[in-house]
Structure 1
Amino acid sequence: MKKLLKKYGERPLIIYLVAFYTFIALVDFMRSFYFLYSGPRRVTNDFTGLVLVSVVDWAFVILFMCSVSLLTKYLLMKRVSWTKIIPLHIVLSILQSYLVGFISPLLLTYELITIELGFFEKVTHTFLFNVTTNILLYSSMILIIYAYFYLQQVKNQEIRNKVLENSLIKFKLKTLESQLNPHFLFNTLNSISSLIPKNPDTAQDMVADISFLLRKFLSIDDKNFITIREELEILEYYTNILKQRFQEDLVITQEVEESILHKQIPRLLIQPIIENSIKHGFSQENKKLNIHLSIQEKEGSILLSVENNGKKIPKYPIYSNSGIGIINIKERLQALYHGKSDFYFENMSHGVKTVITIPMA
């Protein structure tokens, strides 16, 4: 019995049924008290019997409907057809009404009416007199039972969808990051390779910087978000590598609000933007590149901008040529913020500006 209750019992549902029928029973008792005991056409002097009938009726109906709730969950779990469930509930509603009809003749003494009737005649009389009300009450409580299970099913489905969505997001982010890290490392190693014949000491310094970056990547491998302070620490070593390669032709400056250094942003968010600025900024007309990074809080969001004085964006840019890093950022922002972030490029009088706005966690 305990296993049955544990498997099919629903405590919140039982509480709802008890609360509902307790209210109905109290109203019905007041009605019976007036019409049967204290009204102008009183039919019984047995007040104790009247109270006892109400209590036993309340207990019987609660027990019966709790059993029906167990049966209902069983039928739903077994996916029983509605063509079988509906006739079953019709039979149960009539059965409950008939069984309730036994309570009053057994416990209540009618001194002024139905004295000449036999016991089963009294039962039949009570049943027929209350059958409509009892069936309506049964139907109301069945609606509560099915509404509970329906809402529970909807809630469980939402939870399953959320878990699935989170799993898909994690999978997508891992896939994107698996693309980003080799891409970044390939570009950096390519730079080191080009420096070895010309300047082996500089290449050695770059190897030291990239070894730190590799350790840092391993330490944050299981994180989707890191603090701005951590992101800037990674960026510092990355820019050291860039400066070794470009020397005085590349100047990178920063302007970051101290108060938001502990705030979290998607990992490796800034590095691809710097890389993209260098890739598209240098040209025959722009042989020296200045890049300015700004991170600040604005209206409850983190506003991150990267400005450079390099080549401007064409009027009709080919976004497919933006590079894997920028495409990666767009897809990660969409996966993490579901359209609540912003990412765009714009031309300025002196160059190009890249802007990212993300909600502040």
Structure 2
Amino acid sequence: MLKTLKKYSEKRLIIYLVVFYTFIALVEFLRGFYFLYSGPQRVTDDLVGLVMVSFMDWALVLIYMCSVSLLTKYLLLKRVAWIKIIPLHIVLSIIQSYLVGFIPPLLLDYSMINANFAFLDKVTHTFLFNVTTNILLYSSMTLIIYAYFYLQQIKDQEIRNKVLENSLIKFKLKTLESQLNPHFLFNTLNSISSLIPNNPDAAQDMVADISFLLRKFLSIDDKNFITVREELEILDYYTNILKQRFQEDLVITKQVEEALLHKQIPRLLIQPIIENSIKHGFSQKNKKLRIHLSIAKNEDSIELSVENNGKKLPKYPIYSNSGIGIINIKERLQALYHGKSDFHFENMASGVRTVITIPYS
């Protein structure tokens, strides 16, 4: 029994009902006090009885309506059809009105009711006299009950939607990064393979660097965001791998505001941009590539910029919208910031600039 009450009771709803009906009962008592005890047509001389009637009415109605709230939650959870619920509430409102009608004849003798009337006749008289008001009060309190459960249902649905949205975002990010990491690993292993015959020491260094990166990837596997400092640490090992492959043909420099080192940014955000710059920056005419990374605060956003002196973008670039790394970045930014970020390419006087803008906070 206690488990059932705990399952279907709502403390906050009970408080709402108590506050609402306490106000109504107080107004009703003041009205009764004037018309029945102190008005020009006094009906009763028993003030104590009048107070007791009001108190018992207040207690009975609240106990009854709290029971109705339990029943209502049960009906909603069982998904009972409205065609069955509405007649039930009509019957319950009449029963409540009749029960309340028992209270005055028990405690008071009104001059308007013949003292020779039988007790049940007095109850019926009181019931009929107040039935409309009692049914309206029952309806008002029932509306409060249903409004409470309806708003609670909306709130619960919003919470479920938020949890589902976060789960979908995490799943989407995992899916995207499951494409990104093997792609990066495949390219690195190809580089190691090409170095083994001619430069085994360099290949060994690359294996050490890729081992660190893989451990780092595992350590941040459950994070959507990491600090700029952590991202740069990963980038250092990645660029070490690149330098083993390209030697003096590749120069990578960085300029990062120190105050931003503790800020959180999406993990593995910069590496695909560097990779994309190398992939499209080298050409027959440009065999020495310089890449410059800058991270700076711009008003209320963080701007990550990667510039290279490679070949410029064609008028209608294709690669900026293709390739696993670039597509992943765009989709990850959309999933994390919902349109509040920016990612674009632009030609410079000598080379190409890639810009990512994300909210500062």
Deviations 1:174-215 (A, max 9, x none): 111111111111111111222223333322222222222122
C-alpha distance in 2 between matches for 1:306 and 1:320: 14
Deviation at 1:128, TM superposition (A): 1.2
CA contact (8 A) 2:305 2:356 kept: yes
C-alpha distance in 2 between matches for 1:178 and 1:112: 85
Tell me which residue corresponds to 2:8: 8
Distance 1:117 1:49, change over 3 A: same
C-alpha distance in 1 between matches for 2:212 and 2:241: 11
Distance 1:319 1:244, change over 3 A: closer
C-alpha distance in 2 between matches for 1:6 and 1:188: 60
Tell me which residue corresponds to 1:130: 130
C-alpha distance in 2 between matches for 1:301 and 1:114: 83
User: Match for 1:37: what amino acid?
Assistant: Y
Deviations 1:123-177 (A, max 9, x none): 1221111111110000000001111111111111122222222222211111111
Tell me which residue corresponds to 1:301: 301
Deviation at 1:114, TM superposition (A): 3.4
CA contact (8 A) 2:320 2:345 kept: no
Tell me which residue corresponds to 2:120: 120
Question: Structure 1: where are the runs of 5+ without partners?
Answer: none
Deviation at 1:259, TM superposition (A): 0.8
List aligned pairs for 1:198-217, cutoff 5 A: 198-217=198-217
Question: Structure 2: where are the runs of 5+ without partners?
Answer: none
Tell me which residue corresponds to 1:161: 161
Tell me which residue corresponds to 2:74: 74
User: Match for 2:41: what amino acid?
Assistant: R
User: Match for 1:230: what amino acid?
Assistant: E
Tell me which residue corresponds to 2:39: 39
CA contact (8 A) 2:308 2:351 kept: yes
**SS of match in other structure, 2:345:** strand
Tell me which residue corresponds to 1:58: 58
- Within the alignment, does 1:250 sit opposite 2:219 as a pair? no
Provide the identity percentage: 83
C-alpha distance in 2 between matches for 1:343 and 1:266: 13
List aligned pairs for 1:322-333, cutoff 5 A: 322-333=322-333
**SS of match in other structure, 1:343:** strand
TM-align CA RMSD: 1.5
Tell me which residue corresponds to 1:151: 151
C-alpha distance in 2 between matches for 1:129 and 1:350: 93
TM-score by length of 1: 0.96
**SS of match in other structure, 2:226:** strand
User: Match for 1:215: what amino acid?
Assistant: R
Residues paired across the two proteins, number: 361
**SS of match in other structure, 2:259:** helix
- Within the alignment, does 1:110 sit opposite 2:105 as a pair? no
List aligned pairs for 1:145-294, cutoff 5 A: 145-294=145-294
Tell me which residue corresponds to 1:96: 96
Deviation at 1:64, TM superposition (A): 0.5
C-alpha distance in 1 between matches for 2:113 and 2:157: 56
Deviation at 1:68, TM superposition (A): 0.7
Deviation at 1:252, TM superposition (A): 1.0
Deviation at 1:115, TM superposition (A): 3.3
User: Match for 1:63: what amino acid?
Assistant: I
